[in-house]
Amino acid sequence: MRYRTLGKDLAVSAVGLGCMGMSHAYGAPSDKKEMKELLAEAVDMGYTFFDTAEVYGTPENPHHNEELVGEALKPYRNKVVIATKFGIHFHMESRQVNKPLVPDSRPEVIRASVENSLKRLGTDHIDLYYQHRVDEAVPIEEVAGVMQELIQEGKITHWGLSEAGEETIRRAHRVCPVTAIQNRYSMMARWHEALFPVLEELDIGYVAFSPLANGFLSARYGKDSTFEPGTDYRSVMPQFAPQALEQNAKLLELLRTVAEGKHATPGQISLAWMLCKKPYLVPIPGTRKPDRLKENAGAADILLTDKDIQVLDRQLDSMEMSDVFGGTKCRCR
């Protein structure tokens, strides 16, 4: 595994592990013992960056993922960076499979959240604490002020913003330096590339969630793939709809062609494309399977040249694609 730095001084593995899917959004939670073994295996492979949130869970156990991550990583706590998030809850009365998000970043809510996350994670500090979504009802300067206090108290060491745009990033950074943003980014979701100059100016890292477009860019899914209704969000994601396979055929063909030339997998090329684009980009693909864990880590060893990236970007620019889940292109402020 290779390593890189977010912000000024947060060293992390070049590929992180998004832990959400072990507990939330991809069907029923996996067996806890198996996932603890998987997380230990990740540490052995060189992963040092693990991402969770207070809301990743089930109706029966809304905080399942933080508890799992805390238990599994306890023996390795001094070797790993744990990121978690505050500031939203789900609108559980909704009948939607993917429940609407309700932002709430009032200072007293943040204070309660950080204490509860510390307990569930079994740690005395959080390495990277994100506002999960911008709360229009609370000025970002007020949120950043609370982050500054938490850093001074030693409860967190770094903080970040998720699904935030330039205006919010700049305003927050002026109050308390932001270490990283965590925004969606993949070959199918490139709208946040406009933030690259801002991040470089302010020395802020970019943590890419859904870097494989929720697994679609692994090229392992076909028209016969099925997803559990009600608990697996992929059952309602546009990129997995039957008609999307035809719309995305050229994209998958491109990935397979490049992968063959690099002796890699399509998923590895999808990750290497962003890793080789910017030194401050860190993808956090999720998985429940040891072979995928190893495959994703291997993406850090694949070299794509600047010319390779330019050629790929030109092809992606002109290529027909389906919609992709989570397309908040114009709503990030």
The model's pLDDT over 63-75, given as tens digits with 9 standing for 90+, comes to 999 999 999 999 9
DSSP secondary structure letter of residue 271: H
CA 191, 204, 71, 75 torsion: positive or negative? positive
Q: How distant is the alpha carbon of residue 278 from its chain centre? A: 16
pLDDT in tens, 100-115: 788 999 999 999 999 9
Write the DSSP assignment of 109-122 as a string of letters: HHHHHHHHHHHHHT
Torsional sign, CA 328, 293, 82, 100: positive
Whether 331 shows a pLDDT value over 60: the answer reads no
Give the pLDDT band of residue 249 (cuts 50, 70, 90). Answer: very high
Average pLDDT over residues 208-234: 88
Angle at 155 between CA 152 and CA 157, to 5 degrees: 70
pLDDT band at 238 (very low <50, low <70, confident <90, very high): confident
Model pLDDT, residue 330: 45
Query: Residue 294 pLDDT > 80, yes or no?
Result: yes
Looking at residue 207, the DSSP 8-state letter turns out to be E
3-state secondary structure of 293: helix
pLDDT digits (tens, 9 = 90+) for 148-187: 999 999 999 999 999 999 999 999 999 999 999 999 999 9
Please give the positions annotated as active site. Answer: 56
